[in-house]
Amino acid sequence: MNYKSKIYVAGHNGLVGSSIVRRLKLKGYKNILTADRKNLDLTSQQKVFDFLKKKKPKIVIIAAAKVCGIYTNNTYMADFIYENLAIQNNLIHGSFLNNIKILFTSFLSLSLLGIIFIGFPKQSFSISVVCDIIL
């Protein structure tokens, strides 16, 4: 991973995303892309595809999710799962269609698996490097 590579962090304003952005900057990464919710609707497959096509990041980090308090999460559980899966799926599929080779995702809203690395074909990358970069 090059320090000048374009890195898109989805969910940069949230707890996880803002930590990732701070950590990337601390590590010396210079070309960090972000988009506010009002500028990019991550639940819209076409808008996500168009954004990735236009910005051409080398790396996509998914830290975006719809979150709320315990009561709201329990009351609207299916809505939260649906929207979070839409966000995740749009970013994963959009990355694939735009030939983005490196994708990091945090499934913290759906499970407690932590940071998971997904490498698309012809891309090798060590999980230890991923953890060192982000954490």
Q: Where are the domains of the chain?
A: 7-134
Asked whether the predicted pLDDT for residue 45 surpasses 90, the reply is yes
Reported confidence tier of residue 107, pLDDT bands at 50, 70, 90: low
pLDDT at 36: 94
Q: Is the pTM of this model over 0.85?
A: no
How is residue 82 annotated by DSSP?
Answer: H
**Alpha carbons 98 and 52: distance in angstroms, whole number:** 7
Please tell me the predicted confidence (pLDDT) of residue 103: 80
Q: Which of 76, 13, 78 is nearest to 42 (CA)?
A: 13
Domain 7-134 part of CATH 3.30.1510.10: no
Q: Which residue has the higher pLDDT, 114 or 100?
A: 100
Q: Which residue has the higher pLDDT, 57 or 115?
A: 57
Share of the chain above pLDDT 70, in %: 78
pLDDT at 125 over 70: no
Contact 106, 135 (CB under 8 A): no
* Percent of the chain with pLDDT strictly greater than 90: 45
- pLDDT of 106 reads 64
> Residues 45, 117, 3, 28: is their CA dihedral positive or negative?
positive
